[in-house]
Structure formats: C-alpha cells, structure tokens
Amino acid sequence: MLRKATPADVKSIHALLQFYGKNGELLARPLSKLYDNVRDFWVYVDEGTKKIEGCCALQFCWDDLAEIRSLAVVETSHGKGIGSMLVERTIQEAMAFKIPKLFTLTYRPTFFSRFQFYKIDRADLPIKIWSDCITCVNFPDCNETAMLKLLDV
C-alpha cells in the first residue's frame, strides 16, 4: 500500500537510505533532515507485515522544478514493482502541483528512462540543487546521471 510518510516512519526510512548510502548507491540523509522533510516522502508498506518496503521523496526546488530523490526499495522486495509505483506517484504529485519539470540524479538511468526521463548535463540544473552534494562521499566527483522529465501540466 502506498501512502504519505509520517514522523513515525522516519527511522525506517533512515535505515533504508543508510543501507543504500553505505553501498554508495544513493545519498543517505541524517535523521534530522528526514524529520524536516517527512512531508516530501511516500512509502510503500507491506500490508501483511506493516513494514516499510520502499520510499521516495518529491522535493520542490523552484516554482517550475522538483526532484525525485531518495528512491529506495528493500532488497528482498526488488522486482515487485514497488519502485515503479513510488516514481509514478511522485510524478502524479508533481503534476498536481503543476510543476512542469521533474529531475533526478541517479545511478540507474535505465530505470528512470522507462518513465520518459532523459539524460541532461548536470550543469543545466540550477546551483540551488547542489547544496546536498557537499555531504556526499563522492563530492566533487559526482558520478550520478542527471535526468529530466517534462510534464504536461
């Protein structure tokens, strides 16, 4: 079941992001930042176990630009379509807010291309989005792929 995250979900989201952060697959976020931004997150909750199996956030950057970030799915739940459901929901949310451009920084460009994201030069993104990059273990040698999707709003 997909739903908006609540403060009670933050520790589970944090653990999931830490797992992939330690593997160098995404930028882990401190607990304090997750509490600050909990309203940005969607979670997928297994109806049987009631455990969070995936998360994804939509962060607004400007009046015409938002980012899909912190997409993660529990390893044992890969291949179940959870990541796709989370991305589709964040796209719908961006459209509801009439945001015409949606971007992501990813190590999985093939996954995002399925949703009509296309590769762009990171330099085409506004400087504002790079504030989180300073805390990344790969800074300044970012090896994520910048991708953009234009929305019909």
In the chain, the number of structural domains is: 1
pLDDT at 55: 98
Mean of pLDDT values over 64-85: 96
pLDDT at 125: 79
* DSSP-H helix ranges across the chain: 10-22, 31-36, 82-96, 109-113
The pLDDT of residue 60 is above 70: yes
> How many Å is the maximal CA-CA distance in the chain?
44
Is 8 buried (19+), middle (13-18) or exposed (0-12) by CB count in 10 A? exposed
- What is the domain extent for residue 77? 2-150
Q: What is the pLDDT of residues 94-139, one digit of tens each?
A: 999 999 999 999 989 999 999 999 999 887 877 656 666 555 555 5
Q: What is the pLDDT of residues 132-153, one digit of tens each?
A: 655 555 555 667 899 999 999 8
Q: What CATH number is associated with residue 146?
A: 3.40.630.30
Q: Which of 1, 37, 3 is nearest to 14 (CA)?
A: 37
